[in-house]
């Protein structure tokens, strides 16, 4: 009867094509097992997990296949796929292969055969043990070399402040480095202004979707894609690039203190960045509606029936009392042309307030830097999980102390009223329907429609009750 084998594959983040892909390694393992007359059963794969860590779920399950007698053969592609820890992990694996109890060292179960795709076979006992241990130690040394190369690369990125190519983030452009060698990034003024305006809109209560629509209406083109979308704008406003940070493989490059390194001018401030992330994490959207599609017309839900005080509903081409359709009785149901009503209220609003300056509500988060410290702690913990070292433990202790200090600082978010150099009439012209509605709702306390007295449109049927002394419009 053919022996049954359990296969183990570890895919690192750097795995590429060919024999370092999952399919390539699995095909090689199956071929190696076939050569010794073994049939591959379970295939265990740890994806993106470091060989320096023992408690990989699929690695432990692979060893358990042997411990619990489910297989006769343990197979892998190469020893460096099993471990990059060296002697300690090699001894643990050898105990399993030889059927030994890891505590007493006594043989407590039948041994299993170990093979890899590079000629390693436990059938040749003496040569196997020596070669297995040497290759495990070689894998550990290679891990140390990889760590050193990565650390050196990050240090060069930090020290040189050079642009190393790739996708140029929106809001920046590539220029010769001021020192004369290589390239750097500098702010592209028109794009950076557009991002600041979009951030200002969201901090003032607009939804990310509304800000994305505004960018598209202004003819601002993203670097990727045909137009701005809600997700693409959020990614741009809350990413690392907008703060001028260097990134490596998608993560910010960090200095010895654990904090991200800033290499280029920032487009928005860290406080604005933190406020945007807080708003977008909380899912705050339009101040008019918290969910669903935006209103299609200017006065949807704003105008009310004078007979029953219920909001009028759009029933093209009119706004119409919806009491009957909702199961209620209205003593004087009304209807009015939606287009003419929108035009009338727009004229009334601009006539009363169009020359006033636009005053916006701006969310300002107290910048105690706690979020930055938490981010640095999380990144340091992740590094410790991959490559523990005394330096990282010391950094973590320092960051925890800094977190306690900053946690005692004020954290309240406040709202400021900021006067702009634009008039309400200027702002009205550039806003879409949801944006114009927000301006109206800041000015209107109530709006009712009286019953018609004839067939012709009468603007006097619309009664607007303005807020007393409106101080802000956004």
- In whole numbers, what is the pLDDT of the chain averaged over residues? 84
| Whole-number Å distance between alpha carbons of 194 and 196 | 5
| Percent of the chain clearing pLDDT 70 (strictly above) | 88
Please say if the pLDDT value at position 363 is more than 70: no
Which residues does 382 contact at the CB level (< 8 Å), separation at least 6? none
Q: Which of 34-43, 101-110, 148-157, 294-303 has the lowest mean pLDDT?
A: 148-157
Q: What separation in angstroms does the CA of 148 have from each of 53, 151, 264, 348?
A: 18, 5, 26, 70
Sign of the torsion formed by the C-alpha atoms of 95, 134, 390 and 14: negative
Please give the pLDDT value at position 14. 47
Tokens linked to 285: 């959207």
So what's the pLDDT on residue 19?
42
User: Stretch 34-47: mean pLDDT, rounded?
Assistant: 93
Task: Give dist(CA 47, CA 193) in Å, integer.
Answer: 42
For 366, phi and psi rounded to 5 degrees? Answer: -65, 120
Neighbour count for residue 250 (Cβ, 10 Å):
7
Output the CA–CA distances (angstroms, integers) from residue 173 to 138, 168, 178, 234, 235, in the order listed: 44, 7, 14, 20, 18
User: What was the pLDDT predicted at 462?
Assistant: 95
**Would the pTM count as exceeding 0.85?**
no
Predicted pLDDT at 190: 94
Residues present in the chain in total: 474
Q: What is the pLDDT of residue 17?
A: 33
Closest CA to 152 of 72, 266, 243, 248: 248
Mean pLDDT across 422-438: 85
Say which range, 164-168, 367-371, 455-459, has the weakest mean pLDDT: 367-371
Per-residue model confidence as pLDDT tens digits over 298-324: 998 899 999 999 999 999 999 999 888
pLDDT, one tens digit per residue, over 236-280 is: 999 999 999 887 767 787 877 888 888 889 999 888 888 888 777
Percent of the chain with pLDDT over 90: 40
Cis omega (within 30 of 0) for bond into 317: yes
Cβ atoms of residues 317 and 297 within 8 Å: no
pLDDT in tens, 172-192: 999 988 877 778 899 999 999
280 vs 234: CA distance, rounded Å: 8
Residue 411 above 70 pLDDT? no
pLDDT of 8-31, one tens digit each?
999 875 433 334 688 889 999 999
Question: What are the Cα distances from residue 423, in Å, to 95, 205, 427, 430?
Answer: 79, 18, 6, 11
CB 260 within 8 A of CB 242: no
Band of pLDDT at residue 362, cut at 50, 70 and 90: low
**Tens digits of residue pLDDT in 47-76:** 878 777 888 899 999 999 999 999 999 999
**Residue, of 54 and 396, whose pLDDT is higher:** 396
- Do 361 and 474 meet the contact criterion of CB atoms below 8 Å apart? yes
Strand 413-423 and strand 357-365: the pairing is: antiparallel
């Amino acid at each position: 009867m053919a022996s049954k084998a359990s296969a183990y594959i570890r895919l690192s983040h750097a795995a590429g094509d060919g024999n370092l892909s999952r399919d390539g390694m699995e095909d090689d393992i199956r071929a190696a097992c076939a050569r010794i007359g073994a049939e591959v059963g379970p295939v265990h794969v740890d994806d993106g997990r470091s060989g320096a860590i023992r408690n990989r779920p699929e690695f432990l399950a692979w060893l358990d296949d042997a411990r619990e007698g489910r297989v006769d053969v343990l197979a892998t592609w190469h020893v460096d796929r099993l471990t990059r820890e060296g002697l300690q992990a090699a001894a643990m694996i050898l105990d399993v292969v030889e059927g030994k109890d890891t505590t007493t060292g006594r043989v407590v179960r039948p041994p299993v055969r170990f093979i890899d795709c590079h000629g390693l076979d436990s059938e040749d006992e003496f040569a196997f043990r020596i070669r297995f241990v040497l290759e495990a130690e070689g894998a550990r040394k290679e891990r140390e070399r990889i760590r050193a190369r990565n650390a050196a690369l990050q240090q060069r990125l930090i020290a040189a402040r050079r642009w190393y190519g790739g996708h140029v983030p929106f809001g920046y452009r590539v220029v010769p480095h001021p020192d004369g060698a290589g390239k750097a990034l500098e702010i592209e003024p028109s794009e950076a202004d557009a991002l600041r305006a979009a951030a200002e809109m969201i901090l003032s209560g607009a939804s990310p979707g509304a800000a994305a629509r505004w960018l598209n209406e202004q003819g601002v083109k993203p670097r990727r894609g045909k137009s701005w979308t809600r997700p693409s704008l959020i990614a741009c406003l809350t990413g690392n690039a907008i703060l001028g940070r260097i990134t490596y493989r998608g993560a910010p490059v960090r200095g010895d203190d654990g904090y991200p390194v800033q290499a280029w001018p920032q487009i928005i401030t860290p406080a604005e960045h933190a406020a945007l992330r807080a708003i977008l994490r909380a899912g705050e959207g339009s101040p008019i509606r918290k969910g669903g599609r935006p209103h299609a017309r200017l006065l949807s839900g704003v105008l009310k029936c004078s007979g029953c005080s219920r909001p009028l509903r759009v029933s093209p081409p009119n706004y119409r009392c919806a009491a009957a359709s909702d199961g209620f009785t209205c003593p004087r149901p009304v209807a009015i042309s939606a287009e003419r009503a929108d035009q009338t209220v727009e004229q009334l609003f601009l006539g009363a307030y169009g020359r006033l300056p636009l005053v916006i509500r701006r969310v300002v988060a107290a910048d105690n830097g706690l979020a930055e410290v938490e981010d640095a702690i999380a990144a340091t913990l992740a590094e410790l999980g991959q490559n523990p070292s005394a330096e990282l433990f010391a950094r973590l202790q320092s960051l925890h102390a800094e977190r306690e200090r900053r946690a005692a600082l004020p954290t309240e978010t406040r709202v400021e009223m900021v006067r702009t150099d634009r008039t309400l009439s200027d702002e009205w012209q550039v806003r879409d329907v949801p944006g114009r509605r927000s301006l109206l709702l800041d000015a209107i306390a109530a709006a009712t429609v009286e019953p018609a007295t004839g067939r012709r449109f009468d603007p006097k049927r619309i009664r607007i009750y303005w807020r007393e002394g409106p101080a802000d419009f956004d």
